[in-house]
Chain A
């Protein structure tokens, strides 16, 4: 997965975020989004206890007691607040986070997410993934279209363990934007020069095509 493809996904998701929203960004591609928000102001929540997360500090300003959930040094923006882990998950579980942008292992055609455990591998970490899935008002998934082995991420039925019953609203890959509803998954936008046939070939679920399909 090239960096340009990752940036393309981050840029497209940045467009989905609205001024003033409270947003939690998962690890990986989601962490690139703040660079592409332009004039839009969103408030980033970090589940280890900060609302108002700012960019990476200069090396001489690094304090490893001011870190992101990925344990990377960060800064605080004007108006930031600090709180403990239980308050942080009041925000997350209690439905106070407008948008969670999450990475995935798989998502099914109704938007059910698998993003914490690979069958047959050691399952020794879940972190805040299930709390975010259960509690965020809106879930946007950021992912490459296919896994490293070429298998599709958007599948008919999950083969990886589910992260919970709550469904995602949108999936953005380097090729396309999909939205989910109880009717299934719909292709709303094509982001690369891929043909519809090719896209269908590398996708594991049947999707409907929006009447207003956008091709960039």
Chain B
């Protein structure tokens, strides 16, 4: 049986200096409730691995403004002007990784693989200083796997075992992040009885999921808004 917990309980699972893998592409597939909890906590020096840092004041953008973050690792931060400002002022470290390399590094992290050789970024500024290896006449660079202390992911539904299904393109980085941290917490819109989800539709098997939290957000007009009566 999975542990179904309140969102505030997650603060006991995260400590200062932790690396958090946070699902989402922009705001889609982002665990907004879990981020809100951390943003209102006194946690410090967190490193976040996520494709983006949300939008100004939204999703991970909120976490940035709360001052919990030391470093962001991801592929595209230009869409959040607060991230650019924090970086310029020296309040935020940024590590830029090509999107496909980010996804594969996390996949490796969860798959027991230490790193991988890729052609992406070979000969570029991002590839500088990385080991170059020739395999069967083609050149690649070495990228190390990425692992986290805690993964914060978002799914559409969980069953009571913790199996997860995702909505449309909100899947993005969530399934790989579910495999790559010591503790995995999934925020979901709906919890259903085991057996309700078809085995064909389950994307993340429950083996990866440690905790499930019900989202405080509801979808109105295709966009998540904070529910008036959380929990």
Contacts and interface: CB of A to CB of B under 8 A. Distances in A.
Indicate whether A and B interact: yes
Interface of A: 46-50, 61-67, 69, 71, 73, 76, 82-86, 88-89, 92-93, 117, 122-131, 134-135, 161-166
Given A124-B87, A161-B125, A62 B221 contact: yes
A97 B107 CA distance: 21
Interface in B74-130: 75-79, 83-84, 87-88, 94, 96-104, 106-107, 118-126
A86 B176 contact: yes
B176 A117 contact: no
Given A134-B122, A164-B123, 12 more contacts: A47-B99, A49-B25, A64-B27, A65-B222, A71-B26, A117-B125, A123-B96, A124-B78, A128-B100, A130-B98, A134-B118, A134-B120
B151 interface: no
Interface stretch (B8-16, B34-42, B165-173): B165-173
A46 B26 CA distance: 14
B218 interface: no
20 contacts: A48-B172, A64-B28, A66-B167, A67-B25, A67-B26, A71-B79, A84-B176, A85-B172, A86-B107, A86-B175, A86-B176, A89-B99, A122-B84, A124-B77, A125-B96, A126-B75, A126-B98, A126-B126, A128-B99, A164-B122
A135 B120 contact: yes
B74 to A, nearest CB: 9
B222 A86 contact: no
A-B pairs, top 8 by smallest CB distance, nearest first, are A89-B100, A131-B100, A125-B78, A65-B170, A66-B168, A85-B103, A86-B103, A125-B76
A48 B25 contact: yes
Interface of B: 25-29, 51, 75-79, 83-84, 87-88, 94, 96-104, 106-107, 118-126, 139, 166-176, 203, 219, 221-224
A84 to B, nearest CB: 4
Nearest to B106: A86
A93 B126 contact: no
Contacts of B28: 48, 64-65, 67, 71
Contact of B25 (A61, A71, A130): A71
A46 B122 contact: no
A103 to B, nearest CB: 14
A53 B79 CA distance: 23
Given A85-B25, A135-B120, A129 B175 contact: no
Contacts of B118: 93, 134
A162 B123 CA distance: 8
Contacts of A117: 125
A148 to B, nearest CB: 18
Given A84-B173, A125-B78, A64 B222 contact: yes
Contacts of A86: 103-104, 106-107, 175-176
